[in-house]
Structure 1
Amino acid sequence: MHRPRRILVAGSSGSGKSTLARKASDRLGLPYTETDSLYHGPGWTVRESFVADVDDFTSGEAWVMEWQGSAVRQLMIDRAEVMLWLDLPTWRKMLQVTRRTLRRRLARVELWAGNTEPPLLAILTERDHIIRWAWRTRHEYDPWLERLCVERPGFVVRLRSHAQADAWLASHSSR
């Protein structure tokens, strides 16, 4: 079986893109960088080098990365061999993003460039709080991904559960 060497992981916020990307990196022995680490600067600003950093990383022969960032979306598609689409039920994504946000906030986990999750009450006041963002954008990329399924048969692997994702990894891994 062909083992892809340039893999994108797609899905809405909270679907588990980073977790799956890390697993793919580990099991397939491919370099991984978290897209958010290239995107977010101090104070949640966008890093000026974001596009150049993604361009540099994806110009390599092998890599795994989450598919996000409108400025680099097409560049990533053009360079990837396969896209793993985590298309989980909404309840599952919302449960995951809520648990992750609570864990990060309560433990004061440092994310990218010194940023941390905002206070929990911010969910009530900030339109772009990650939990509200996840709900509002939960279907935003579906039309793109569905179109890619038609335009590039075999490029998008639609995974509707973590078990399906693990099975795909197992079938492409020698570990």
Structure 2
Amino acid sequence: MRMQRVAIIGRGGSGKTTVGRRIADALGTTITHLDALYYDDEWNTLPQDKFATLQEELVAADTWVIDGNYASTLPIRLRRATHVIFLNLPAITCLWGIAQRRMRYRGGQHDNTGVYDRITWGFIKYVWGYRRTMAPRVRALLDEHAGHAQVHIVTSRRAANHLADQLTARAS
């Protein structure tokens, strides 16, 4: 199946942006970060209906790469995706990724993504408990809405880099 529309999901710090940027470059498109759509500069959230409508508009395009979780709207992306990458990395790996990102950007905006670093105790608990709480929900949504897509579930940084290498080579 030709890679055209790629949904990238996974807990914070799993490398969604890094993998997504590589794939978007190979496809000749830009990556959309759902955090940048959902939150403004002061961490106010977009109303759910507007957030869903924005995603419906995004996925109507022929080619896209979208990174972000948001299980409530994940079916919108899954229904149109040709490829899904689920970065289900260990919590400690993701927490280390978050720490590295924090040091790199000093709590500011990440490389013109529109995403700002915001680490709270609730976020750390979410990352730590993701495999127990969110991963089963994501897998159920994948089973329900992504049967037509190529689904890649990755459990290590090495595997994520290898997958990105494979997919970008095929896209070129």
TM (norm. structure 2) is 0.78
CA offset at residue 143 of structure 1?
0.9
Partner in structure 1 of residue 152 of structure 2? 157
Name the Cα RMSD after superposition: 2.9
SS of equivalent residue, structure 1 residue 84: strand
Give CA deviations for 1:73-125 in whole Å, capped at 9, x if unaligned.
Answer: 11111111121111222221121112223433xx342369988546xxxx7xx
Percent identical = 23
Partner in structure 1 of residue 53 of structure 2? 52
CA distance in 2, matches of 1:23, 1:74: 24
Structure 2 unaligned regions, length at least 5: none
Contact 2:5 2:63 in 1 (8 A): yes
Q: How many residue pairs get matched?
A: 165
SS of equivalent residue, structure 1 residue 43: coil
Partner in structure 2 of residue 100 of structure 1? 101
Q: Does 1:91 align with 2:92?
A: yes
CA distance in 2, matches of 1:114, 1:45: 14
Partner in structure 1 of residue 166 of structure 2? 171
CA offset at residue 134 of structure 1?
1.8
Give CA deviations for 1:5-29 in whole Å, capped at 9, x if unaligned.
Answer: 0111111111111111111101232
Contact 2:21 2:30 in 1 (8 A): no
Counterpart code for 1:135? W
Question: In the superposition, relative to structure 1, how do residues 166 and 99 fare at CA in structure 2: closer, same or farther (>3 Å)?
Answer: closer
Counterpart code for 2:89? L
CA distance in 1, matches of 2:149, 2:71: 23
Contact 1:67 1:76 in 2 (8 A): no
CA offset at residue 58 of structure 1?
1.1
Partner in structure 1 of residue 134 of structure 2? 141
Q: Find the structure with the greater CA-based Rg.
A: 1
Question: In the superposition, relative to structure 1, how do residues 15 and 114 fare at CA in structure 2: closer, same or farther (>3 Å)?
Answer: closer
Contact 1:86 1:158 in 2 (8 A): yes
Give CA deviations for 1:129-157 in whole Å, capped at 9, x if unaligned.
Answer: x3343224354331134335655286321
CA distance in 1, matches of 2:68, 2:24: 15
CA distance in 1, matches of 2:79, 2:101: 31
Contact 1:20 1:165 in 2 (8 A): yes
Q: 63-72 vs 12-21, which deviates more? A: 63-72
Contact 2:87 2:154 in 1 (8 A): yes
Contact 1:145 1:156 in 2 (8 A): no
Structure 1 unaligned regions, length at least 5: none
